């Protein structure tokens, strides 16, 4: 019975470490995406305020 308790404890520790790593990874990824989204939005706003516009679409004539 003692061996089964040791295996159960080892399994519980391993599962806890895995879950903790997954939660930490998801949390860090979310922080990274949020930070870069805010920076990207600020960069685009700055670029637009400098007069940066996309080139107009070229006009094509349609033949009837």
36 or 12, which is more confident: 12
pLDDT given at position 58: 64
Tokens standing for 11? 């399994």
> How far is 32 from 26, CA to CA, in rounded Å?
10
Q: Could you tell me the pLDDT band of residue 33, with boundaries at 50, 70 and 90?
A: confident
> How far is 46 from 38, CA to CA, in rounded Å?
12
> How far is 62 from 64, CA to CA, in rounded Å?
6
User: Stretch 15-27: mean pLDDT, rounded?
Assistant: 97
Q: Is the pTM of this model over 0.75?
A: no
Q: Could you tell me the pLDDT band of residue 41, with boundaries at 50, 70 and 90?
A: confident
Q: Could you tell me the pLDDT band of residue 63, with boundaries at 50, 70 and 90?
A: low
> How far is 51 from 57, CA to CA, in rounded Å?
17
């Amino acid at each position: 019975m003692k061996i089964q308790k040791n295996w159960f404890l080892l399994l519980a520790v391993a599962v806890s470490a895995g879950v903790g790593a997954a939660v930490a990874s998801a949390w860090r990824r979310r922080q990274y995406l949020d930070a870069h989204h805010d920076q990207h939005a600020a960069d685009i706003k700055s670029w637009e305020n400098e007069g940066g516009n996309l080139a107009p679409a070229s006009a094509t004539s349609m033949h009837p």
